[in-house]
């Protein structure tokens, strides 16, 4: 029916296709729809299901737009449920296909070679075991690169391994130790602002990049009584959690909203993404909670245990 409606006014060579002509062609291909059937269906208007679908399409598209066009069917369905909409996941999947929308698809990229001189690096205290039982037991850090019209911009992050929350981030035009030091300082500030009084017992894990094995960086960790941990050279799996988190950043922001003008453009967009990522984006690995929700639950649980003790 929709095919006929979409093409009945089409004209080729000055001749209009028309309903009758289209029905005749469809009949010759085994699709028997009489012109009278088409007109009857058109005059009846939308069915009850089609009317519901149209209402849901408006809600789905609006929610997808509000979530920065990043959510796939599963996460969009969960977001709709959170917003009080009772809708089946299969309905969301079907209507997203009809609307022609989808979530972002993660893609890989090749990081520029780090040719900086390395200091003696700390041992790997994590050994690919990233699971933790509360916040501030393990932070993972890494950086990525973004091509802009003015050259490369490097963006560094610090994540909490338990909650996946972005604690610190920094963008700069050079890949040097001050970039990751500033990122670490932001993470420390974030936790102190929330009441942290010390960081003894915390492990900070990175890859073997020269910026993370520099004397200045390792000394700063020592000042805060944070245990440094560094994976082996050239092995992404040794820092896979940070790599995965940054993969989300690249897919959900950098590859989706470019081209990028300069470092200021990247900084402004990254600030918005971090806020959304921490407070609104649900994670399958977190039982479909947001990083902020996970931390709130964790703090409430441990405060209850401390009170009981």
**Tens digits of residue pLDDT in 176-188:** 889 999 999 999 9
The Cβ of residue 169 has, within 10 Å, a number of other Cβ atoms equal to 22
Give the distance, in angstroms, between the CA of residue 222 and the centroid of all CA atoms in the same chain: 32
Per-residue pLDDT tens over the stretch 62-96 = 898 888 888 888 999 999 999 999 998 989 998 88
Per-residue pLDDT tens over the stretch 192-234 = 999 999 999 999 999 888 888 888 999 999 999 999 998 876 5
Residue 147: the pLDDT is 93
* pTM (predicted TM-score): 0.69
Residue 80: the pLDDT is 93
Q: CB–CB of 146/263 below 8 Å?
A: no
Lowest mean pLDDT among 123-137, 143-157, 163-177: 123-137
Residue 213: the pLDDT is 86
Residue 293: the pLDDT is 94
Higher pLDDT, 66 or 51: 66
pLDDT at 115 over 50: no
Residue 161: the pLDDT is 93
Residue 105: the pLDDT is 73
The two tokens of residue 104 are 């972002």
- Mind spelling out the 3-state secondary structure of the chain? CHHHHHHCCCEECCEECHHHHHHHHHHHCCCCCCHHHHHHHHHHCCCHHHHHHHHHHHHHHHHHHHCCCCCCHHHHHHHHHHCCCCCCHHHHHHHHHHHCCCCCCCCCCCCCCCCCCCCCCCCCCCCCCCCCCCCCCEEEEEEEEEEECCEEEEEEEEEECCCCCEEEEEEECCCCHHHHHHHHHHHHHHHHHCCCCCCCCCEEEECCCHHHHCHHHHHHHHHCCCEEEECCCCCHHHHHHHHHHHHHHHHHHHHHHCCECCHHHHHHHHHHHHHHHHHCCCEHHHCCECHHHHHHHHHHHHHHHHHHC
Higher pLDDT, 302 or 165: 165
**Residues with Cβ < 8 Å from 137, sequence gap 6 or more?**
161, 162, 201, 202, 203
Residue 231: the pLDDT is 81
């Amino acid at each position: 029916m929709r095919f006929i409606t979409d093409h009945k006014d089409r004209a080729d060579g000055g001749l209009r296709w028309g309903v009758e002509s289209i029905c005749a062609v469809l009949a010759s291909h085994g699709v028997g729809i009489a012109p009278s059937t088409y007109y009857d269906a058109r005059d009846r208007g939308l069915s009850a299901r089609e009317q519901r679908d149209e209402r849901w399409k408006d809600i789905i598209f609006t929610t997808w737009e509000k979530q920065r066009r990043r959510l796939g069917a599963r996460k969009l369905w969960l977001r709709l449920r959170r917003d009080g909409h009772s809708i089946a996941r299969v309905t969301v999947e079907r209507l997203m296909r009809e609307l022609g929308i989808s979530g972002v698809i993660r893609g890989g990229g090749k990081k520029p070679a780090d040719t900086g001189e390395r200091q003696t690096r700390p041992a790997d205290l994590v050994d690919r075991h990233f699971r933790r039982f509360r916040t501030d037991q393990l932070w993972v850090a890494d950086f990525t690169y973004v091509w802009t019209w003015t050259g490369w911009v490097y963006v560094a992050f610090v994540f909490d391994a338990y909650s996946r929350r972005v604690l610190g981030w920094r963008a700069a035009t050079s890949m040097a130790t001050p970039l990751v030091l500033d990122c670490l300082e932001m993470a420390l500030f974030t936790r102190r602002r929330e009441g942290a009084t010390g960081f003894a017992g915390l492990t900070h894990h990175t890859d073997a990049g020269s910026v993370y094995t520099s004397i200045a960086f390792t000394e700063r960790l020592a000042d805060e009584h944070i245990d440094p941990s560094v994976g082996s050279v050239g092995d992404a799996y040794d820092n896979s959690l940070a790599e995965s988190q940054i993969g989300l950043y690249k897919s959900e922001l950098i590859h989706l909203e470019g081209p990028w003008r300069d470092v200021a453009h990247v900084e402004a967009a990254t600030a918005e993404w971090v806020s959304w990522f921490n407070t609104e984006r649900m994670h399958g690995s977190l039982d479909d909670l947001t990083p902020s929700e996970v931390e709130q639950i964790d703090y409430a649980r441990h405060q209850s245990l401390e009170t009981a003790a």
